[in-house]
A and B are shown apart, each in its own frame.
Chain A
Amino acid sequence: DQQVKQNSPSLSVQEGRISILNCDYTNSMFDYFLWYKKYPAEGPTFLISISSIKDKNEDGRFTVFLNKSAKHLSLHIVPSQPGDSAVYFCAASANAGNNRKLIWGLGTSLAVNP
């Protein structure tokens, strides 16, 4: 049972345009969300995060939006660059006592075409 869902396995956009990657979750206890980027043969690298007390967090070309009522978050990349081509993972965590673990989506492969 996937608690974190990235329903689009792949996405292709033109360089300079906006990339929008979506993520849905089912557990209302999740209170912290992260996006990671992964290049082939490398481990994922942290990109941006958002806590449930916010609805938007921005870092340069990357913005994450959180809609708690819809249990939905999205990552916007503007403008998209060919170097952004990678697999993007959405992850969520909830506080369970003093323990947290990250629950991951299956990833969306983004291709930015020159």
Chain B
Amino acid sequence: KAGVTQTPRYLIKTRGQQVTLSCSPISGHRSVSWYQQTPGQGLQFLFEYFSETQRNKGNFPGRFSGRQFSNSRSEMNVSTLELGDSALYLCASSFLTGYMNTEAFFGQGTRLTVV
């Protein structure tokens, strides 16, 4: 069974640009969550999508947005990039949402560097 796939693995962008990251969940998983990991802040929850609907949202500005397609693949978009957006962006998929079994399977992440 293929794992969670995130593309691209590495990305360098300049301030003010926008970026789109992609995540393909494990086959059969309908819940996709996005996280930002920075050395000082740990894993910060961005949002979760389930069946193409945003179910949960973290405390990030509106520059961060996402969507999920009918095949459960998800994209995350960051507009007007700032230097502080440099981080490892992780995607996690799980089979169910809203239940006890919230075990999530993570992709390898996309390392975004904003210069």
Residues of A within 8 A of B (CB): 31-32, 34, 36, 41-46, 49, 51, 89, 91, 93, 95, 97-107
Contacts and interface: CB of A to CB of B under 8 A. Distances in A.
Contact of A98 (B42, B44, B98, B106): B98
B109 A43 contact: yes
Interface in B11-70: 33, 35, 41-45, 48, 55-56
Contacts, number: 64
Interface residues of B, number: 26
Contacts of B95: none
B55 to A, nearest CB: 6
A104 B42 contact: yes
Contacts of B44: 104
A104 B45 contact: yes
A36 B55 CA distance: 23
Q: Which 7 A-B pairs have the closest CB atoms?
A: A43-B106, A106-B42, A98-B98, A104-B43, A101-B56, A44-B106, A46-B103
A44 B45 CA distance: 14
A106 B103 contact: no
Contacts of A31: 100
B103 A34 contact: yes
Contacts of B55: 99
Contacts of A44: 43, 90, 106
A96 to B, nearest CB: 9
A49 B102 CA distance: 10
